[in-house]
Amino acid sequence: MTTTALAPEEVARSNIYGLLAQLFYAPPDQALLLGLAQVKPGDGDSAPTAMGDAWRELARGAASADAEAVREEYESLFFGTGRAEISLYAGAYRRAHAGDNPLVQLRDFMAQHGFVRRNGVVEPEDHVAALCEVMRHLIMQDDVAAQRTLFAAHLWPGLLPLCDAVSSHGRASFYAPVARLAKTFFELEHSAFDMD
């Protein structure tokens, strides 16, 4: 783990990954919705940006949302009898090639970097919330090489199609702007990793 303070941009990245993990792991309660409704992107910068627009859309959605309705939406989209309408697992959006098992590769990556599955957890590791949490921890550890590897191998190929599936779903009211924020953020991350 790094002993130097992280740059404010890195803390912001970590916080966004943490928020996305929280929102995709479980529906937000009323307190989180109220907090999201008060988000004001930018610090005096009047130039519109895709990320700023995505934050504003999420803030508007949170301001008009009711926690119980969002819970019902979450359960309707991501759970169901039998199969969920939208899978929150990156593997559902990836084509496996012969001899290629992304989930096994992810488990190997996590083990190499000290991430251990908690007792009692039965969910596969490629859940969007788990991937965002791992990325958040890698940012806090200032491990750029591991961030790049995780993002390129597991987040980018699986989570963009997930975001598209959520944002285009007819019953995604609150979660459509969540998915658009996530996609915009992942696109920025992809550009940043490409520039390094």
Is there a domain that residue 2 lies in?
A: no
User: Cα–chain-centroid distance for residue 13?
Assistant: 11
**DSSP secondary structure letter of residue 13:** H
CB-based contact 139:13 (threshold 8 Å): yes
Q: Which residue has the tokens 């996609």?
A: 183
Kindly report, residue by residue over 92-133, the tens digit of the pLDDT.
888 766 567 888 899 999 999 999 888 887 788 999 999 999
Is there a domain that residue 186 lies in?
A: yes
State how many domains the chain has.
Answer: 1
Q: Looking at residues 146-158, what average pLDDT do you find?
A: 94
Is there a domain that residue 74 lies in?
A: yes
Q: Looking at residues 150-156, what average pLDDT do you find?
A: 94
Is there a domain that residue 40 lies in?
A: yes
Closest CA to 171 of 78, 87, 109, 90: 78
Cα distance between residue 137 and residue 75, in whole Å: 27
Compute CA distances 57 → 36, 48, 79, whole Å: 10, 13, 25
Structural domain boundaries enclosing 56: 8-195
How much is the pLDDT for 102?
A: 85
- What tokens appear for 15 in the block? 């916080």
Domain at 175, CATH number: 1.10.3480.10
Is there a domain that residue 1 lies in?
A: no
Radius of gyration (C-alpha) of the chain in whole angstroms? 17
Specify the pTM.
0.91
* 89: three-class secondary structure by DSSP: strand
Is there a domain that residue 3 lies in?
A: no
Is there a domain that residue 88 lies in?
A: yes
How much is the pLDDT for 42?
A: 66
How much is the pLDDT for 196?
A: 59
Closest CA to 124 of 147, 106, 136, 146: 106
Is there a domain that residue 46 lies in?
A: yes
Whether the pLDDT of residue 44 is over 60: the answer is no
Closest CA to 134 of 119, 120, 154: 154
Buried b (16+ CB within 10 A) or exposed e, 146-169: bbbbbbeebbbbbbbebbebbbeb
